Amino acid sequence: MKNREVARILYEVASLLELEDVPFKPRAYQRAARSVEACSTPVEELAEGDRLRELPDVGKAIGEKIQEIVRTGSLRYHQELKAKLPVDLFELTRVQGVGAKTAKQLYEALGVRNLLDLERAAKEGRIREVPGMGAKTERRILKGLAEARGTDRRELLWYAMTAMELLRRALEDSGLFAQLSAAGSLRRGVETVGDLDLLGVSERPEKASRFFACLPEVEEVLMQGPKRTSVKLAGGLQVDLRIVPASSYGAALQYFTGSKAHNIRLRERAGARGMKLNEYALTDAEDRVVAGKDEEGVYRELGLLWIPPELREDQGEIQAAERHELPQLVERSEIVGDLHVHTDWSDGTADLESMTEAARVEGLAYIAVTDHFRFSTTVGGVNTDELLRQVDAIGELNESSAGVRVLAGIEANIQRNGDLDVPARVLRRLDIVIASVHSHFRLSSAEMTRRLERVMDNELVDVLGHPTGRLIGERPPYDADWDEVFYRAAKTGTALEVNANPQRLDLGAPLVRRALEAGARLMLGSDAHATDHIRFLEIGVRTARRGWAEAKHVLNTLPVDALLATRKRGGRE
């Protein structure tokens, strides 16, 4: 979790510098923070091996500051900047409607330093009295606070998975565990995780528990014993390790994976058949063990196919398993391309060649470079001439390299009326066009629906990017009639993105399922802004699976030529 802590400090340094109108430096700190945050290697390991400069956008100066954070837990430069504005900028700016400048204004006018101060000021009606804000801003902040509170003490799926992987690797390498698996909401692929659950089998449970409690990632031991040990990692995430007999491993794994609603239905099913199911075993009316060693046996004895963890939400999966009608969920190995990748031509951190090589390492056959069109002074993007030059550069790259095909694309901006801000003559030169909302989030449901329908009616648009616009814990989805949107997507042949950025996962799983029921197609995109980000595809797949998606529903399971043949207008002009 140290990567997140280091990134948080760097992000806040960027915001503080921005408030002081310091040129260039804020962007440098933001890019370095993103690089640290996305890195799968613990930053302590990089610092110890003097390898911080291997991270994209981490130069000598910022590398030295990261070393200081790793060594001391804080950064003097950060503290000096905070002395001028003693507020928790990182937490405050998680709230929709509160940017760095608003946070400064609220501190100067009302003394708001943290989320508690902000909530008190909003509920007391004092924010509306601040010049330039008003009642509408106050209501928006209250709504944003509720959204931010909803993810308090919960970790985004990607970062929880990264933490779990480090723990699992250490425990497996110890040789003390015969079996080991993640359980809980992480195993089900839920977008935010409250704590981590590990389940293991060990012939030396006391020694295994002690080893777990002494891992360097552990900050505090909450309880320790041969059956259960609970710890807190450095960042507050709690991890529970349960050690069970091999004969109970399957029953325990099913039980501790959940969900609660799914487990209740299984216990009811067992009871109706004269059996009893708990975390120890499935037993018959005479208390004889019927199953328990593996999950498949538990489900089989209940007359069901084994149900993938992502589906265990009591949303019809038990009935489908009984009828042998479970979907053949899409696998990460079936994703052969990434159709949403950014480079340093816009706001990415790596060049075309580096992103292509990263895709090759991840086993992909193609990527689509979809840099932003320039829509903001604060977000880098290409203009028309630069985009056309990039198309030529991609053509040259495809001629000189082998193994990964690079498609020329754009992430265009959907204007308020549903038009795009990229000339049609330019769009016709591209292999793929993603259209995304980046402004005017608070339209009425009717106006937003018309906006999205209009852009999908455009024959040059292939994909609706991050369709709901949400940022988990920061910005809720905008209002729209999603059934109408999905119907129009299916009618026009416009794919809907499952954006795999950890803070987006957009479309979310419930809407993925509704989109598929409407006949729409999906596209998985990492929204990569650095080479490590391509690995986000893994949680995009998990989200699609939670929405009952199969490979046939996902465009980038297709070979590149078959993919291009699905385009609304048949291909590049």
pLDDT value of residue 269: 97
Which residues have CB under 8 Å from 354's CB, separation 6+?
Answer: 56, 531
Tokens describing residue 376: 């903001």
Does the pLDDT of residue 377 top 50, yes or no? no
Q: What is the DSSP letter of 507?
A: S
pLDDT digit string, tens, across residues 384-436: 999 999 999 999 999 887 789 999 999 999 999 999 999 999 999 999 999 99
- Residue 412 is inside which H or E element, if any? strand 405-413
Confidence of residue 150 (pLDDT cuts 50, 70, 90): low
pLDDT digit string, tens, across residues 496-528: 999 999 999 999 999 999 999 999 999 999 999
Distance, in Å, from the CA atom of 132 to the CA atom of 153, rounded to the nearest integer, reads 33
Q: HEC profile for 237-270?
A: CEEEEEECCHHHHHHHHHHHHCCHHHHHHHHHHH
Q: Which long-range contacts (CB under 8 A, 24 or more apart) does 120-124 make?
A: none
Confidence of residue 378 (pLDDT cuts 50, 70, 90): very low
- Domains of the chain, start order: 2-149 (1.10.150.110), 155-243 (3.30.460.10), 249-322 (3.30.210.10), 332-565 (3.20.20.140)
pLDDT value of residue 570: 62
State the average pLDDT for the chain: 91
On the 0-12 / 13-18 / 19+ scale of CB atoms within 10 A, 492 is middle
pLDDT value of residue 142: 84
pLDDT value of residue 226: 95
CA proximity to 476, closest of 495, 503, 512? 503
pLDDT value of residue 380: 64
Beta-ladder partners of 276: 283
SS3 of residue 304 by DSSP: coil
Confidence of residue 482 (pLDDT cuts 50, 70, 90): very high
Amino acid at 365: A
Name the pTM for this structure: 0.83
Sign of the C-alpha dihedral computed for residues 42, 44, 48 and 54 taken in this order? positive
pLDDT digit string, tens, across residues 26-50: 888 888 887 787 776 778 888 887 8
Amino acid at 361: V
pLDDT value of residue 571: 62
Instruction: For residue 554, report the phi and psi dihedrals to the nearest 5 degrees.
Output: -110, 120
SS3 of residue 372 by DSSP: strand
Q: Taking every pair of C-alpha atoms in the chain, what is the biggest distance, in angstroms?
A: 78
CA proximity to 334, closest of 545, 157, 497, 489? 545
Q: Which of 16-20, 285-289, 331-335 has the lowest mean pLDDT?
A: 16-20
Contact 77, 16 (CB under 8 A): no
pLDDT value of residue 539: 97
Distance, in Å, from the CA atom of 481 to the CA atom of 175, rounded to the nearest integer, reads 53
On the 0-12 / 13-18 / 19+ scale of CB atoms within 10 A, 23 is exposed
Length of the chain: 573
Q: Which of 128-142, 204-218, 554-568 has the lowest mean pLDDT?
A: 128-142
Cα dist from 216 to 116, 129, 212, 226, whole Å? 33, 49, 9, 20
Confidence of residue 123 (pLDDT cuts 50, 70, 90): confident
Contact 103, 87 (CB under 8 A): yes
Beta 228-233 vs 238-243: how paired, if at all? antiparallel
The more confidently predicted of residues 1 and 412 is: 412
Instruction: For residue 200, report the phi and psi dihedrals to the nearest 5 degrees.
Output: -140, 160
Contact 453, 418 (CB under 8 A): yes
Distance, in Å, from the CA atom of 226 to the CA atom of 241, rounded to the nearest integer, reads 10
- Residue 167 is inside which H or E element, if any? helix 157-173
Confidence of residue 443 (pLDDT cuts 50, 70, 90): very high
pLDDT digit string, tens, across residues 92-106: 887 877 888 888 888
Task: Read off the pLDDT of each residue in 128-149 and give the average, rounded to a whole number.
Answer: 82
pLDDT digit string, tens, across residues 154-211: 889 998 999 999 999 999 999 999 999 999 999 999 999 999 999 999 999 999 999 9
Q: How far is Cα of residue 200 from the mean position of the Cα atoms in its chain?
A: 27
Task: Read off the pLDDT of each residue in 351-373 and give the average, rounded to a whole number.
Answer: 95
Q: Which of 91-100, 213-222, 395-404, 465-474 has the lowest mean pLDDT?
A: 91-100
Helices 384-400, 352-361: crossing angle, 10 deg rounding = 50
Q: What is the DSSP letter of 365?
A: S
CA proximity to 468, closest of 513, 498, 490, 446? 498
Q: Which of 67-81, 91-105, 277-291 has the lowest mean pLDDT?
A: 91-105
Q: Which of 300-304, 469-473, 477-481, 554-558 has the lowest mean pLDDT?
A: 469-473
Distance, in Å, from the CA atom of 371 to the CA atom of 385, rounded to the nearest integer, reads 13
Q: How far is Cα of residue 102 from the mean position of the Cα atoms in its chain?
A: 27
Distance, in Å, from the CA atom of 505 to the CA atom of 544, rounded to the nearest integer, reads 9
SS3 of residue 411 by DSSP: strand
